[in-house]
Amino acid sequence: MYPFTGRILVTGGAGFIGSALVQALNQHGHTNIHISDILGTSEKWKNLVPLQFNDYLEADELLASIKSTHKNPYSLILHLGACSSTTETDAAYLVKNNFAFTDELAQHALHTQTRFVYASSAATYGDGSQGMDDQEPDLYKLRPLNMYGYSKHMFDTRAQKKGWFDTITGLKYFNVFGPNENHKDDMRSLVNKAYHQIKKSNRLELFRSHRPDYEDGKQKRDFLYVKDAVEMTLHLAAKKNATGLFNLGSGKANTWLDLANAIFAAMDKTPQIDFIDMPEAIRDKYQYHTQANITKLQETGYEKEITPLPEAVKDYIQNYLIPEKHLGDEEL
């Protein structure tokens, strides 16, 4: 049972990680939750159906609304709302949604002494040449490879410059996958995309490597199951002295081939993989190796075992993708 009291605001609460957070809060007996998101024409509203919450507000109305809550503030703000497309090129849009919105919400939280936990991203680390250390004292050394990563980096550096990391917590999520991501279209995890591709053709396409030091399929990622990401997030949210930036990952780097083989195994099929050229538009923005150092997280007392990649993939495919369930549906 997480010791949260009062009202909890979850932005992006209809989205992938956001809805998983609400579902976990429900499991721990918390229903005094306000959700904010932009539902639009996508089907992420389906993520809300199994959840228990008190109110819903479209994101473009949120900032005006919270100004009236200074006398009755939230006890906790979990800010997951953002444009998460790594291929988005509209810089003004990303700055407005991922930087300016977060900045206003953080200032509100600081003014009302509300616990504020927000989603940063491992994309802020760029190609990793400056390391992937969440205890790096000079964030300005980092060089994000795409505008999405930079929009997240902008707020991280602002928070550091303003001294806000003495109070607030930023979460650098690595490659999170799992239930409730169907609405993400091209930003869905490979597990989700591969499941549908293999179901249709019994084959899977992977990007070939365009660097001589990496064989095809041997590019590496730190893959983290969303259920573990949620447990890490709520653990840190419950610890008010756990402030600053934290890497949230498995702490291990697996190859795309490792992931592909786990997907085929979960579907009880023989691996059949074709390598295709990576689109030129993303070749110079592609991360070839990511691995989270999670020592800082562990030093806060986080001791739960992280789900091994094959087990996580099997759970996702067999308990959610095949029966077409959302988080929370399994409790019905």
Distances (CA, A) of 52 to 24, 32, 174: 11, 8, 28
The residues, any chain, with a CB within 8 Å of residue 159's CB and separated by 6 or more, are 106, 165, 168, 170
List the catalytic residue out of 162, 184, 218, 314.
184
* Helix 309-316, helix 256-266: angle, nearest 10: 50
Distance CA 35, CA 81 (A): 10
* CA within 13 Å, CB half, 234: 24
Only one residue has tokens 């806000």, namely 164
Can you tell me whether residue 49 is helix, strand or coil?
coil
List the catalytic residue out of 148, 225, 302, 320.
148
Q: Which two tokens stand for residue 184?
A: 């993400």
Q: What one-character DSSP code corresponds to residue 296? A: H
Q: Which two tokens stand for residue 191?
A: 């597990």
Cβ atoms of 280 and 210 closer than 8 Å:
no
148 is catalytic: yes
DSSP string for residues in 239-295: -TT--EEEEES-S--EEHHHHHHHHHHHTT----EEEEPPPHHHHTT--SB-----H
The residues carrying an active-site annotation are 148, 184
